[in-house]
Chains A and B, each alone.
Chain A
């Protein structure tokens, strides 16, 4: 629909186009309706409109033959969008802009006047660290991009915009360092994003699932993070970040299994401590996946593998238990899953208290009543705690599911079953790629230099190259900085 020369007609047609919504404000100003403003009060800042748009505009309205170009030049608000039809003007309204019509003009101007409710920047709740910035992403894409710009002040930083979702028209931004990230990778990210045809993107999780290399894979083949420092360091390594408006999670691609147990604070501490923390996390992750399966396999099928004293102690503790071990473990695992889910939904301190009370009380009562053995409670508790040791919640979920595969394999085929199931799980991991990168890198294929940083943490003087895994164009990271003791000699 073309923009009419009569301001009132435009305002009425715009209102019709949007179905006369409650929050649409249309105002005509000046003699003979010389100018008209339209905006959605729910998405705009009224004071901003008054101070920076309406007040400077009013004196101009007395001028005869006021043109769009003149308003564009004289108003303090910068970079308005010039619109030639009512449909795009309506889109401007939906994105929180204020549209200005002028009498006798067949074009309109859309001024950015955002004013919707925003969360303040807070510490990421799912990726806490002891040392490091307390800065987590918010639901506003521009703020999130700004956070990264504060980290990386490099003119090569590219922020390519796009829009996804036929109804939601969600803003997406693809961020990378232009002379570092592999062009093929950037192209691949674009082609996968452009292939998405969906009515709406509500959260970045939608995009994660739609751009995965293997959609049915249980493994997280992209990395979602709330931490701005993590995104900044990933971009410096040559990876690509995908920002999604209304989502505090930024997607990083490609990802390897090695990234999933690393925390940014590994690099904020000395490399001895960083390595120790990382190794501990790796062991915890493995325990979270394999411990229940190994326990059931060793106790029920292969007790001869255990030291005699330990085997006898476990057997005596289970003498009065009425269930087979697998049922006992599954009951406790189910209880843990229920506590976990309930703990997330119950508000604040009540949830924490209830979680502790239910865990302690039910565990004690369960043991005393002879429903579960103390050893099984210990095993399930260690597994539950270990599953939280990973730096990423979504990764923990994948490990939780894999745990059940090993549990059932151990129940039916003992240690042989656990070993076979473990290899099959690994085979699937070896089979998948994340944006062309081997998921098991740097162990498969063997990349010796990268392996210094996995599973340990390589010291900075050794990390003078960017990870070859992501095939960066500019390989040099630190210019071959010498060891500290060497430079002082």
Chain B
């Protein structure tokens, strides 16, 4: 197994903390939070950001204790053979999340763009494209994220800004809910929109200098939280929290009422869809790469490039298995509810054990 030897700087790592996270988070935002918090659902992403913060801190502290190691290798260093098992569980959960999201994305493309095209064709095209991106390695993935970041964000922010004209502010009232317990539940329901920040546990060894992580991760998290809040506020303000729950992809519905009658494109939602597909493919490539890297480390057999292609048929099978959108959504909801335990709580547990057992990795490892 050959280890990828590269390093990426701050301005290549920041796009990795924004574009993949945003592309996955936008998919169902803010359905889950609204289901719990009602009209205050827009606060969900903000609270979720606070909830995942300890997980991110743990990822950083682990990276400091075990320089040059991913969470899979850290697990092995701290827990021994048990770390291999937890590493496998970690990867299986991540593969499930990736699969469910991919399924959702392909359904969306099928519903919006390619109604007559068989779903499996869309899935195959999407998976092969994501596999190609993933097989290019972290440096290339970071560069493509960097290249796309500014134009993609510009389009998204523009669409959110113009969608504000359709908001009815009475729909987001009351500003604060009297049910305090709902805030925590709503926050928990929105944690899924930051899942890909947790993937940093697999790619953090490539960041140089490592000490920049708290600054850039904190900044990215703040940006994402604010963006999500404005995005959710806009969606709830346009449709109201009850009507909103009818939509499979509320983010896209948000910009639907905004028409550009004098411009070339009929609906702004489709402009957003193009922007989002570009982001999500790159985001999937990043997630796919991280899982393949983890798989190569847990198995100690092939390098990540081979694992990209080994995982492809497995994922294709997993995506093709459930043929009903509702089923998929149920599983996505399940993953959304409990995936955080693996993604954000596992690093905290590992770090606590490492502190208690006073375990550290070799200082000069990279």
Does A317 count as interface, using CB distance less than 8 angstroms?
Answer: no
Most interface-central of B11, B140, B141, B278 (chain A CB within 10 A): B140
Closest Cβ–Cβ distance, residue B275 to chain A (whole Å): 9
B146 touches A307 (CB 8 A): no
B144 touches A415 (CB 8 A): no
Does B109 count as interface, using CB distance less than 8 angstroms?
Answer: yes
A301 touches B146 (CB 8 A): no
Task: Say what secondary structure dominates the interface of chain A.
Answer: helix
Does A308 count as interface, using CB distance less than 8 angstroms?
Answer: yes
Known: A431-B136, A446-B11. A307 touches B261 (CB 8 A): yes
Known: A416-B113, A443-B150, A444-B147. A423 touches B282 (CB 8 A): yes
CB-nearest residue of chain A to B10: A445
B278 touches A306 (CB 8 A): no
Task: Say what secondary structure dominates the interface of chain B.
Answer: helix
CB-nearest residue of chain A to B271: A305
A431 touches B140 (CB 8 A): yes
Partner of B278, one of A422, A430, A431, A445: A422
Q: Mark A433-446, 1 if CB is under 8 A from B, else 0.
A: 00000101001111
- Bound CA span A120–B101, Å: 64
A414 touches B114 (CB 8 A): yes
Q: Which residues of B contact A426 (CB under 8 A)?
A: 144, 147-148
Closest Cβ–Cβ distance, residue A373 to chain B (whole Å): 18
A304 touches B109 (CB 8 A): no
- Bound CA span A427–B145, Å: 9
A438 touches B132 (CB 8 A): no
Q: Which residues of B contact A310 (CB under 8 A)?
A: 264
Does B117 count as interface, using CB distance less than 8 angstroms?
Answer: yes
Known: A416-B114, A419-B277, A443-B150. A430 touches B264 (CB 8 A): no
- Bound CA span A429–B114, Å: 28
Known: A306-B266, A416-B114, A427-B132. A444 touches B277 (CB 8 A): no
B9 touches A420 (CB 8 A): no
Quick one: which of A385-431 are within 8 Å of B by CB? 413-417, 419-420, 422-424, 426-427, 429-431
Q: How many residues of A contact B (CB 8 A)?
A: 30
B146 touches A445 (CB 8 A): yes
Q: Which residues of A contact B320 (CB under 8 A)?
A: none
Does B182 count as interface, using CB distance less than 8 angstroms?
Answer: no
Does B274 count as interface, using CB distance less than 8 angstroms?
Answer: yes
Q: Which residues of A contact B126 (CB under 8 A)?
A: 420
Does B221 count as interface, using CB distance less than 8 angstroms?
Answer: no
Q: Which residues of A contact B113 (CB under 8 A)?
A: 301-302, 413-416
Closest Cβ–Cβ distance, residue B303 to chain A (whole Å): 17
B266 touches A304 (CB 8 A): yes
B278 touches A419 (CB 8 A): yes
Closest Cβ–Cβ distance, residue B281 to chain A (whole Å): 5
Closest Cβ–Cβ distance, residue B19 to chain A (whole Å): 12
Contact surface of A with B, Cβ cutoff 8 Å: 301-302, 304-308, 310, 413-417, 419-420, 422-424, 426-427, 429-431, 438, 440, 443-447
CB<8 Å pairs between A and B, sample of 10: A301-B113, A419-B274, A423-B281, A424-B133, A430-B136, A430-B144, A438-B143, A443-B150, A445-B12, A446-B11
Which 5 residue pairs across A and B have the least CB separation, nearest first? A444-B146, A444-B143, A430-B143, A430-B144, A444-B147
